[in-house]
Amino acid sequence: MTENFRFAFQGIWAHKLRSFLTMLGVIIGIASIIAIVSTIQGTNRQIMDNLVGAGNNCVTISLFQGDGPYYMDGGAPQGVYPVTEEIKDSIRAIDNVEAAAFYNSRQWVDGLRRGTFSLQSGRTLGIDQNYLSAMGYVVYRGRGFAEADYERFRKVVLLDEMAAATLFPGEEPVGGIIEIRGEPFTVVGLFRRAEAFQPVIETLQDYYTYRQSENGTVLMPDACWPIVFQFDEPQNCVLRTTSTEDMSAAGTEAASVMNTLIRGSDGENSVSYRAEDILETARKQQELNASTNNLLLWVASIALLVGGIGVMNIMLVSVTERTSEIGLKKALGARKLSILLQFLTESAVLTSIGGILGILAGILLSRIISHMTGAPVYISIPTIILGVAFSMLIGIIFGILPSMQAANLNPIDALRRE
């Protein structure tokens, strides 16, 4: 076998230009596939990071009516009981759940203002003492909620950066007073996500997907929620799981536990708790993105097919040129298998070198595409290994016919041919 490799490299080196032109189809095909696959993987990773939140591993369980979220503005739904401590303990005991928090929510609140400044389309949440840690938030100015705030029903709030900038433009928010539906609340702190993470916004759809809840958020203790809104209002739940892969299973189980609080809700507009399956959302976006790129993969595969045909053609020429050599080897006792392996090895080495050059060209091409278009790229080791293996396979498949032709030559006829 070592001798076969030596003969293969000698043959390639003896006809350098012809060998390079033969490899060109394989180089172009492999380079195209590497560039396309790296772009697909890079985009998929970006989608996953954007939706999952850069490893935050949080999943939300909220109330739905029919196919859409339930809005509390029209009043609390009938037959939905408040979340009990027993239910909370059951959810916290779910496998792979690191933390669980419960909160009330209003997506749009009228009358959220400070003097002439108002927070349009801002969210207001009534949170428990576990919410900030479960969501991965930190208070970076002022203080968080103390236990006494809950026990004494203190009307205090936390603002995110957007809400603070809107309600207190150019001023210090901490210590200021805002109104929520006519009730005064004191701002005791500002909060933000512990990890600095910004989703990549490239299209209008990305904006609606990632920025829809970033119009400003106000947090208050859930004990104060009935001061402004309703008593016994159903709560939502947020879980932080040990890994991204555990989010769907933990969210589904938690939703099932919370649905035991619902009585007598059925029909088309039935009310139920559902987990926000963010991984499924990510997968759907990935599939939509990959469907277009898959067409490009088929086009790149045609270049590989053309390259394989070129290899077969040049190997047939090589067999014709070396007919006398083959006849001499067979006359000296070489078996069909050894002749077959010699030419198969040469074909595989030829395409493998083309595959390696194609991978290098593909990495360079993907970097150029990323620089010119801003598209993210991710080149994985398995993709590189697969590229080399595939190019070798091309050589073997398209080298079989010339190799069999060489192995089946009659030694007498081969020696007589000039």
Residue 138: pLDDT above 50?
A: yes
pLDDT at position 155: 96
384 with 359: CB under 8 angstroms? Answer: yes
Smallest CA-to-CA distance from 3 within 357, 353, 334 is with 334
Give the model confidence (pLDDT) of 234-291 as tens digits: 899 999 988 877 888 899 899 999 998 887 655 556 888 988 766 566 666 666 566 6
0.75 surpassed by pTM: no
Where do we find the tokens 């916290």? 92
Of the pLDDT bands very low, low, confident and very high (cuts 50, 70, 90), residue 207 is very low
Residue 55: pLDDT above 80?
A: no
Q: How confident is the prediction for the chain on average, in pLDDT?
A: 80
- Secondary structure class of 364 (helix, strand, coil): helix
Q: Which long-range contacts (CB under 8 A, 24 or more apart) does 408-412 make?
A: 408/336, 409/323, 409/326, 409/327, 409/330, 409/339, 410/327, 411/327, 411/328, 411/330, 411/331, 412/327
> What percent of the chain has pLDDT above 70?
78
Of the pLDDT bands very low, low, confident and very high (cuts 50, 70, 90), residue 208 is very low
pLDDT at position 293: 62
pLDDT at position 32: 82
The whole-angstrom separation of Cα 7 and Cα 377 is: 39
Residue 25: pLDDT above 90?
A: no
pLDDT at position 220: 96
Residue 128: pLDDT above 50?
A: yes
Residue 417: pLDDT above 70?
A: no
State the amino acid at position 100 in one-letter form.
A
C-beta neighbour count of 403 within 10 angstroms: 22
pLDDT at position 176: 95
Provide the 8-state DSSP code for 54. Answer: S
Residue 197: pLDDT above 60?
A: no
Of the pLDDT bands very low, low, confident and very high (cuts 50, 70, 90), residue 204 is very low
